[in-house]
Structure 1
Amino acid sequence: MMPWFRQTLHIIFRSRTQAKRFYFENSWLRELTCKDIVAGIWQANFQADIFQKLSLCKAALSRWGSDLKSLHKRELGRCKDTMKQLRGSRNHVDAVKFHKAKQQFLILLQDHEVQWKQRAKVF
């Protein structure tokens, strides 16, 4: 096998198997669960060195962040559906439900905006 071909295969293989880079999302700071995850790992692994603790935090926050992203996506859809269904209703109860859905929607959009602003700074 030619050396340049072997090097190319190595680069392709390595790039596919490398772990995804971890980015801490500033929007996570608004979530109480984030603090609980970090504190729990720090306390449960008191004999681990700082690098092990950081590695454990990275893994836990990556999983949790992925789940949170999915949850926020579903919540955004639910809020949109609720607002669409209740828009134009003259019922007071419906107006309150619409307002709550709109407030939740705006909070989720703000979190999304914070994430994208942070990502824009990385590049």
Structure 2
Amino acid sequence: MSDFAHSASSTRRIEAADAAVFRHLDDHRNHSAHMGQRSWAMMGSRMEVHMDAGGTRAVGSRSGFTGSFLGIPLAVEKIVIERDPPRLKTSVTVRAPTLWVIGRYRMGFSIIPGPHRCC
């Protein structure tokens, strides 16, 4: 049984080579760049994003963010638990995050090979 009470998933067809898609998704900066920018939704706040020197490209790599919203501290730390280029990558929160909306979570992606019309 899972440690997580809820789950969600989505599937998208992407017209690109599997390896190129993996390289993009494997780069944590592509997922977190928006968090370092001040936003209206965060009432002008922003998060400080951090990751290990390897850029979260290995099992055991760590990443996360810290910051505050209306003076309330927010933080999450994740660790990569699976990585099999160019097919899948999964990370999980290390301990209960300090967030308003969600608790511990597991997040990842898997690339399912299919026919490509490009390249």
- TM-score, structure 1 normalization: 0.24
Greater fraction strand: 2
Structure with higher RCO (Cα < 8 A, 6+ apart): 1
Greater fraction helix: 1
- TM-score, structure 2 normalization: 0.25
